[in-house]
Amino acid sequence: MQTTITQTFQSHFSTVPLLAFAPGRINLIGEHTDYQEGFVFPAAVEQGIWVAIQKNGLTVCRLYSLDFDQEFSFELDAFSPKKGHWATYVMGMVALLQQAGYQITGFDMVIGGNIPVGSGLSSSAALSVAIGTSISGLFGFQVPKKSIALYGQKSEHLFAGVKCGIMDQYASAFGVKGKALLLDCRSNSHEEVPAEFGEYSLILVNSKVKHSLADTAYNKRREACEESVRILAKHYPGIKTLRDIPLEDLEKVENLLPAELYPKAKHLITEIARVHLAGKALKSGELQTFGTLLKASHASLSKDYEVSCEELDFLAETSWKIDGVLGSRMMGGGFGGCTLNLVKTSEIAIFEKKIEAAYLEKFGIIPDFIPVKIGSGSSILEEISLAD
């Protein structure tokens, strides 16, 4: 991909570019906790987005997307991000860097990647971080990684219309090969945790479904959490979010909250606890415990938080019955997308065969299988010329 991006850039713009890369991410555990300032456990993956960039001496930015086979240009002194268009991510990052006082001049850019569409590996976050990293590198801005992640999040909010948390951009920027990030979404700080799976491997199973109620349900879950905090604040003075409620107080919380709110609060409180337990399990190499936590996370997301769906439940619960599988859970916002599975490497072919046959028989859909390895975060890569 690195060579392809370089060659494409040279054929379009006839100069040698600077190259930047930012990865997609998985979240090992800690789902729907970020917007309650909780803890999440993401890791960068080897798949990602590459950006080739070079100054052009103009007042215009000329872009080309390899994946969409599209060109796009905009003037630096007069542009308006177009919601739903890939170039919006470039314009969004440029706008935020300009607002922060960085003096950007005209540039040419080629973008391409190898993140599978609809995989839940957060290609949009990788794109924003790759763009920010490339612009910072090209102009010598030395923008801190945390700032690039925050600009990427704000760009999603303002220009793409997606009210995402910080996890995706943060993991893309700070990822470390062979390690997961135990990320505190209140302080935006993290601890690196070795994520060595030995004779086991991580593999995503893409359900290839996305139910339309996802956005509405997401907003309702956020509102339920916020309402729970308002009620609980009367009994827990000073709490800001459900993150501040200790696990041992679950019974007390159940007595204080209406029946329709308690399960949502229960998920948040127990899921945050599972993140810390998962971190301890990986540090000590207790993969069986880690797998059990994956199962518990899925059950909570499905039964308490109600963001799963029939297809995801089927994929997770079917995998639990297959030899060599330590754990499986839905990953991401829910109502479709992927399950994350920890499977004995020698059993992956059998695992895929059994899951594919069962899922096809049940839903008439052949799922996609996406192996993932924990890779490094965003970086500037060496320049490559065609002569190399």
Catalytically active residues, by annotation: 168
44 sits in which H/E element: strand 42-55
Is residue 13 within 8 Å of residue 54, measured between CB atoms?
yes
Amino acid at 352: E
Closest to 208 in 3D by CA, of 328, 319, 336:
336
What the block records as the tokens of 94 is 């440029």
* CA gap 178, 140 in Å, rounded: 29
Residue 338 — φ and ψ, nearest 5°? -115, 160
CA atoms within 13 A on the CB side of 341: 32
Estimate to the nearest angstrom the gap between the alpha carbon of 165 and the chain centroid: 9
Judged by DSSP in three states, 46 sits in strand
CA atoms within 13 A on the CB side of 30: 31
Closest to 263 in 3D by CA, of 253, 274, 278:
253
Amino acid at 190: H
Judged by DSSP in three states, 173 sits in helix
What the block records as the tokens of 260 is 């329709």
